[in-house]
């Protein structure tokens, strides 16, 4: 990996102290019907969502689900820079980044493979919702930064980015709500936090262990993103997807409310 | 994807055909094109395979090297995927042209294989926390004729089946650890790939979906669902790709098809691999001649 | 048959037939003749009064003229050829067309038939409407009008048999496999028509969908094709590919014989190597017997 010479690099080799105390994989994600943070299987974490938080961006949004905090800014539409990118449809780009300090272990400032993968998934989740044919020759850029990661970062990013897009006034067919679910054994844990998230290195010994993330356009009832990790039985995947679709539909009013609020605030400022 | 240009009428023709369950080459919606496979094609690798799916051709080489295990899994070997979109396939791949596609394929494969039961990586551990076998799986696209993901996953599974890892013996001597590599070329261990996944791509075209879309069909398709499916029918990875969206009910239908076809694909792949192994050295090699 | 995977190499390789023609094969740098009385044609060059080949292919002699015809080549256009092309770009008063030629071919606005009669002045209005007639990706059948000095082709569609193509399927084969005949448009008895472009593009379409003359053929019929026609098109497509795979010349009789020989198999099995070999052998035998 090439290093960036303009940055002061940390010591050549340093170790995160947490790497010495090996975390035991959790076998008891659900105890007497309750999860570790006291939630029930179906409960989501409280959501705080606000549009219009980055004053200089065309549109922006911030989402907080307890300790998962994601901020998103949208720039554009503007002329495409590279000539060969010309097309009759608008060009949408997406950059997903974990802040260096957002996770338990320090991340690199350059996008790693996981972040690039998330960028593509985020892009594909939002593309169907944007009226790209209304913006020939133009590009729109979405930048998502995860300030703090406590699980379900991609799902939060999808929700956040769609609200930011809507906040920027770019024409859209619908919003996109994101939702994640952890599959552990026969249990479906909605909106998993970091401890509950699926990690392939954990030897849980469960036949079904994995996670599913779904992006849904709620009023069109169209799935715009779907992704899963880990080995899961077919019937459970189906259940998990169906449940995510349900939850996304329930999230819709939250997204609407955040947008309405930001619009009315702007109206007050102007009038 | 490598795009081809089609006229509206050609697209209409393809879409209507898929609705009738009769595609432009006579196949039904759940049929794969003719696929040929050959393992052990590159002798400088630990295992290799070449897959030809109609016009798509993919060569996979596996190299086993000794390295350090990752910190998260000290008692496991490592599996690394790298995809090379050769400009031989299409001039579009020249320079960094194929990078995005390459990353997408390798990410999908990494995800599909990233579950403990797919492949017993515990067998690849040599000294816990210090030394393990690292399997570098390099995928080379030689020709692109549509449906790269499925063909790549089939080739990877075949190459892993073909992989021979030399036996090593570890001797401990006053805190000094010696690793001895067996010099007998037949003293090797094989990997058990029976529960390794294959990727099935389902392309939504019009109101129906098809497996193994040709390049022309890919040009008509807005949304694809890719699934990693094992022999038992479990799902190891799921991904929607493309700029379109899908109805929840059609997602369900597509997953049903994907599971069914994926199991069939795994089954016939294992059968053909066993068949080839039985033939052993007597097998007539085709290599790259056609 | 959902999935059918084979071991490569398990199939038999058809033995190449040795014919007298083999003596005529040359590779670049081969001396064809050191006699100075010959004329230098395509695919050859002169060095030290010797005539040498510059491409790998078959030597052809016409009186004093010697050419070498490369077998796997891009299409070298000749005036009067029927070609099938795909519109790449809409430009000023012209369309750029991909015809598997060395350079892109050109279709001038003045060399197409516009709706409303043949003798019509092309107005500025027509220039603006160009994308309405033909846009990027559209397929056309045309005739080579002239060849420019740089080798690029100028096409025309000023006959009712040429113009925009509707529903159907395109197959690409090597241009040298298309046999030059009087006509390249064929209505086959199976309800399907075929256009064998000299540039190696083969267009297969349902006969029933022949364009109506009133609209100038710019409006395509997007009604679904019947299953029977579709089946026949798929079968024909696979037959054409089988013929090309076995390096057989494509013309109406060879295609029809292959089509008839393929009847005992379902269309989707034709691409299997053994089926392909079998039906091609039947068709080849029949062609040889009839001496065509």
Domain ranges for chain A, please list them. 39-261
Q: pLDDT over 90 for what percent of chain C?
A: 28
Residue A140 has pLDDT above 70, yes or no: yes
- Please determine, for the modelled complex, whether the ipTM score is greater than 0.90: no
Q: Cβ separation of B238 and A128 shorter than 8 Å?
A: no
C-alpha span between B289 and B140 (Å, rounded): 17
CA distance B197 to chain A (A): 10
pLDDT in tens, B175-233: 788 888 888 878 888 888 888 999 999 999 988 999 999 999 999 998 999 999 999 88
Which tokens belong to A181? 């679910």
User: In chain B, how many domains are there?
Assistant: 1
Mean pLDDT, chain C, whole residue set? 84
Mean pLDDT, chain A, whole residue set? 86
Which tokens belong to B227? 């699934």
Quick one: pLDDT at residue A22? 63
Residues 6+ apart with CB under 8 A from B24: B13, B14, B17, B214, B216, C169, C233, C234, C237
- Confidence bin at B150 (pLDDT 50/70/90): very high
The CATH code of the domain that includes B120 is 3.30.230.70
Quick one: pLDDT at residue B283? 67
pLDDT in tens, C127-168: 888 888 888 889 999 999 999 988 899 999 888 888 888 889
Per domain, the residue ranges of chain C are 24-70
What is the greatest pairwise CA distance in chain B? 77
Quick one: pLDDT at residue C15? 55
B288 in any annotated domain: no
CA atoms within 13 A on the CB side of A184: 24
C-alpha span between B146 and B152 (Å, rounded): 11
Quick one: pLDDT at residue B198? 93
Q: What is the dihedral of CA A170, A172, A175, A178, to 10 degrees?
A: -80
Average pLDDT over residues A240-254: 93
**Residue of B3, B14, B24 to mutate, interface with C, max C Cβ within 10 Å:** B24
φ and ψ at residue A11, rounded to 5 degrees: -55, 150
Residue C292 has pLDDT above 70, yes or no: no
Which tokens belong to B40? 């052990």
Which tokens belong to A155? 């799902």
Which tokens belong to C276? 């392909």
B287 in any annotated domain: no
- Between residues B220 and A29, the one the model is more confident about: B220
Q: Cβ separation of A237 and B243 shorter than 8 Å?
A: no
A 4-43 residues with CB below 8 A of B? 19
* DSSP secondary structure code for residue A265 in this structure: H
In this complex, the chains that touch B, judged by 3 or more CB pairs closer than 8 A, are: A, C
* DSSP secondary structure code for residue A111 in this structure: -
Quick one: pLDDT at residue B253? 92
Residue in chain A lying closest to B262 (CA): A234
CA distance C222 to chain B (A): 7
A151 close contact with B: CB closer than 8 A: no
Buried b (16+ CB within 10 A) or exposed e, B269-290: bbebbeebeeeeeebeebeeee
pLDDT in tens, A68-99: 999 999 998 888 877 665 677 888 999 999 99
Range of the domain at B99: 8-282
Q: Cβ separation of B275 and C4 shorter than 8 Å?
A: no
C-alpha span between A183 and C40 (Å, rounded): 76
Judge whether B158 and B49 are in contact, CB under 8 Å: yes
Q: Write down the architecture of domain A39-261 according to CATH.
A: 2-Layer Sandwich (3.30)
Residue A25 has pLDDT above 70, yes or no: no
Q: Cβ separation of B264 and C267 shorter than 8 Å?
A: no
Q: What is the dihedral of CA B2, B8, B11, B12, to 10 degrees?
A: 170
- Confidence bin at B93 (pLDDT 50/70/90): confident
Residue C84 has pLDDT above 90, yes or no: yes
CB-CB neighbors (< 8 A) of C169 in chain B:
10, 13, 24
B260 close contact with A: CB closer than 8 A: no
pLDDT in tens, A100-134: 998 888 888 888 888 999 999 999 999 999 998 88
Average pLDDT over residues A241-269: 92
B252 close contact with A: CB closer than 8 A: yes
CA distance A230 to chain B (A): 5
Judge whether B3 and B125 are in contact, CB under 8 Å: no
Q: Cβ separation of B154 and C5 shorter than 8 Å?
A: yes
Q: How far does Cα B146 stand from its chain's mean position?
A: 14
- Confidence bin at C16 (pLDDT 50/70/90): low
Average pLDDT over residues A227-244: 91
CATH number of this structure's domain C24-70: 2.40.50.100
B173 in any annotated domain: yes
- Between residues A10 and C234, the one the model is more confident about: C234
Quick one: pLDDT at residue C214? 47
B33 in any annotated domain: yes
Residues 6+ apart with CB under 8 A from B285: B38, B41, C9
Q: Cβ separation of B34 and C169 shorter than 8 Å?
A: no
């Amino acid at each position: 990996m090439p290093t960036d010479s303009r940055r002061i690099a940390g010591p050549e080799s340093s170790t995160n102290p947490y790497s010495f105390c090996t975390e035991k994989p959790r076998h008891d994600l659900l105890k007497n019907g309750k999860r570790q943070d006291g939630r029930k299987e179906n409960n989501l974490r409280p959501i705080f969502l606000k549009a219009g938080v980055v004053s200089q961006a065309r549109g922006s949004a911030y989402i907080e689900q307890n300790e998962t905090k994601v901020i998103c800014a949208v720039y554009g539409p503007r002329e495409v820079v590279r000539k060969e990118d010309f097309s009759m449809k608008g060009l949408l780009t997406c950059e997903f980044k974990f802040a260096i300090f957002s996770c338990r272990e320090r991340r690199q400032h350059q996008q790693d493979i996981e972040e690039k993968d998330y960028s593509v998934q985020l892009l594909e989740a939002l593309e169907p919702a944007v009226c790209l044919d209304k913006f020939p020759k133009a590009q729109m850029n979405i930048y998502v930064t995860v300030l703090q990661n406590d699980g379900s970062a991609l799902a939060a990013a999808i929700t956040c980015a769609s609200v930011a897009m809507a906040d920027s006034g770019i024409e859209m067919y619908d919003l996109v709500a994101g939702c994640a679910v952890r599959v552990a054994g026969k249990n479906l844990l909605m909106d998993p936090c970091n401890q509950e998230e699926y990690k392939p290195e954990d030897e849980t010994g469960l036949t079904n262990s994995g996670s599913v993330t779904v992006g849904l356009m709620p009023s069109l009832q169209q799935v715009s993103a779907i992704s899963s990790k880990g080995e899961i039985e077919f019937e459970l995947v189906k259940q998990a997807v169906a449940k995510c679709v349900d939850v996304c539909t329930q999230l819709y009013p939250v997204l609407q409310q955040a947008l309405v609020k930001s619009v009315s605030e702007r109206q007050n400022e102007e009038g | 994807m490598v795009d081809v240009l089609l006229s509206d009428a050609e697209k209409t023709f393809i879409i209507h055909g898929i609705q009738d369950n009769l595609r432009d080459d006579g196949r039904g919606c759940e049929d794969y094109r003719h696929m040929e496979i050959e393992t052990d094609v590159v002798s400088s690798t630990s295992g290799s395979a070449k897959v030809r799916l109609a016009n798509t051709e993919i060569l996979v080489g596996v190299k086993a090297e000794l390295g350090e295990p990752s910190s998260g899994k000290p008692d496991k070997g490592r599996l690394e995927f790298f995809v090379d979109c050769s400009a031989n396939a299409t001039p579009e791949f020249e320079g960094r042209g194929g990078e995005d596609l390459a990353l997408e394929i390798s990410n999908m494969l990494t995800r599909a294989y990233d579950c403990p039961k797919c492949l017993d990586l515990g067998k690849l551990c040599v000294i816990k926390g210090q030394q393990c076998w690292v399997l570098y799986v390099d995928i080379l696209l030689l020709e692109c004729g549509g449906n790269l993901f499925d063909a790549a996953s089939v080739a990877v599974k075949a190459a892993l089946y073909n992989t021979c890892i030399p036996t090593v013996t570890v001797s401990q001597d006053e805190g000094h650890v010696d690793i001895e590599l067996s010099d007998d070329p037949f003293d090797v261990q094989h990997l058990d790939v029976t529960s390794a996944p294959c990727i099935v791509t389902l392309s939504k075209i019009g109101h129906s979906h098809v497996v193994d879309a040709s390049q022309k069909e890919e040009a008509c398709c807005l949304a694809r669902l890719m699934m990693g499916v094992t022999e038992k029918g479990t799902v190891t990875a799921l991904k929607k790709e493309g700029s379109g969206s899908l109805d929840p009910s059609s997602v369900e239908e597509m997953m049903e098809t994907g599971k069914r076809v994926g199991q069939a694909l795994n089954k016939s792949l294992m059968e053909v691999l066993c068949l080839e192994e039985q033939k052993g050295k007597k097998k007539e090699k085709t290599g790259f001649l056609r | 048959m959902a999935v059918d995977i084979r071991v490569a190499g398990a199939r038999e390789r058809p033995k190449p037939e040795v014919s007298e023609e083999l003596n005529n094969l040359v590779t670049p740098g081969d001396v064809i003749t050191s006699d100075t009385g010959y004329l230098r044609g395509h695919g050859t060059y002169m060095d030290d009064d010797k005539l040498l080949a510059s491409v790998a292919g078959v030597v052809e002699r016409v009186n004093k003229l010697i050419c070498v015809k490369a077998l796997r080549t891009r299409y070298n256009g000749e005036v009067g050829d029927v070609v099938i092309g795909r519109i790449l770009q809409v430009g000023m008063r012209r369309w750029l067309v991909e015809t598997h030629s060395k350079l892109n071919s050109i279709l001038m606005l003045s060399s197409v038939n516009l709706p409303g009669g043949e003798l019509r002045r092309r107005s500025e209005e027509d220039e603006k409407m160009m994308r309405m007639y033909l846009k990027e990706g559209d397929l056309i059948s045309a005739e080579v009008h002239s060849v420019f000095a740089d080798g690029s082709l100028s096409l025309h569609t000023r006959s009712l048999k040429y113009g925009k193509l509707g529903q159907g399927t395109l197959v690409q084969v090597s241009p040298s496999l298309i046999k030059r005949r009087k006509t390249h448009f064929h209505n086959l008895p199976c309800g399907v028509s075929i256009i064998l472009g000299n540039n190696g593009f083969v267009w297969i379409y349902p006969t029933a969908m022949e364009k109506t003359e009133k609209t100038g053929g710019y409006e395509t019929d997007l009604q679904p094709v019947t299953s029977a026609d579709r089946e026949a098109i798929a079968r024909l497509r696979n037959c054409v590919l089988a013929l090309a795979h076995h390096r057989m010349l494509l013309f109406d009789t060879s295609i029809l014989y292959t089509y008839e020989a393929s009847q005992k198999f379902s269309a989707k099995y034709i691409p299997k190597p053994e089926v392909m070999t079998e039906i091609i052998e039947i068709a080849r035998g029949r062609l040889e017997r009839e001496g065509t």
